[in-house]
Amino acid sequence: MLAAALTLDAPTIFLSQDGESFIDWLSNSVLLGAIVVGLIVWFARSATKNLSVVPGRKQNFFEAIVQGLYDLIESVVGTHMVARVFSLLATLFIFIIVSNWFGLVPGVGSIGWGHATPNGFDVTAPLLRPATADLNGTLAMATVFMCFWLYWSISEVGLKNFLNHIFGVKGGLTGLMALVLVPVFLFVGVIEVVSMAFRPVSLSLRLFGNIFAGETLLSTMIGLGKQLGVPEWISYIMSITVPVPFYFLELLVGLLQATVFMLLCAVYIQLSTSHDEEEGH
């Protein structure tokens, strides 16, 4: 079975005989997402089922992850926000990293529907595809985060302070100077709103771009022998050996992208919730 170059859209798994999909929402990335969710929930439950102060192996491993993430998130958002935001940010990190690494499991992206070609079987609709290699998945995560971000920001600093933080005159200016600068800061506020509106887009496109590129890179490396037209047996060896360094690269990219996504989310929260704190002091 050959690895196929991914298409930009994640195809629906079930297609009718005339090629029309009849369960629109069930794409290969949703299916893998569901498997990933199942795995995460199964592991988390088995690690936390019998919690004790002196942990077992699974609990210890899970605790190490949670503790590491908790400390990292706390260092960015601060002590006052960490309890509220930790669960979402940790879920984002875990879901993204497991999805990213799941894409490296042999068979993911290379087993599915396709057609025979002179160079072998070409998979055009893989059965499984990482949720992070589908813009629907990354956009969904970014959108959910932005909804929570908006709620947390307003509930933490209040609507007035939140709007003031965006449109208000900064730098402690008062009097005539402040009045003169009001239009400028209103304009800056509009730019800030546009910037905020683009946050889910940038978050989702960055993650999707990196993972999609990684998947494509691996597919290309696996099929490099055939592309170069080398003999069959060399092509076979190349399809195994050439991608190995890129697998390690993708392991690193998977970790980095999960960390970047989570940290950016944490920074956004910190930016919108620390304003009140500064004023309070």
Residues that bind another protein (CB under 8 A): 7-12, 24-27, 29-30, 33-34, 37, 40-41, 44-45, 47-48, 51-53, 55, 62-63, 66-67, 70, 83, 86-88, 90-91, 94-95, 131, 134-137, 139-141, 143-144, 208
**Looking at beta carbons only, is 129 or 226 nearer to another protein?**
129
Smallest gap from residue 224 Cβ to another protein (A): 26
How is residue 216 annotated by DSSP? H
Q: Are 185 and 169 in contact (CB under 8 A)?
A: yes
Smallest gap from residue 140 Cβ to another protein (A): 3
Smallest gap from residue 59 Cβ to another protein (A): 8
Structure tokens of 2? Answer: 């050959």
Residue 188's identity, in one-letter code, is V
Q: How far is residue 234's CA from residue 22's CA, in Å, rounded to a whole number?
A: 42
Query: Can you tell me which residue has the tokens 């490296």?
Result: 104
Q: How far is residue 47's CA from residue 50's CA, in Å, rounded to a whole number?
A: 7
Smallest gap from residue 143 Cβ to another protein (A): 7
**Looking at beta carbons only, is 95 or 268 nearer to another protein?**
95
**Looking at beta carbons only, is 31 or 154 nearer to another protein?**
31
**φ, ψ for residue 236, nearest 5 deg:** -65, -45
Q: Are 132 and 142 in contact (CB under 8 A)?
A: no
Smallest gap from residue 163 Cβ to another protein (A): 26
Quick one: which H or E segment has residue 253?
helix 243-280
**Looking at beta carbons only, is 211 or 238 nearer to another protein?**
211
**Looking at beta carbons only, is 26 or 230 nearer to another protein?**
26
**Looking at beta carbons only, is 166 or 264 nearer to another protein?**
264
Q: How far is residue 66's CA from residue 84's CA, in Å, rounded to a whole number?
A: 15
Residues 6 or more apart whose CB falls under 8 angstroms from that of 35 comprise: 102, 128
Structure tokens of 144? Answer: 């959910």
Smallest gap from residue 109 Cβ to another protein (A): 15
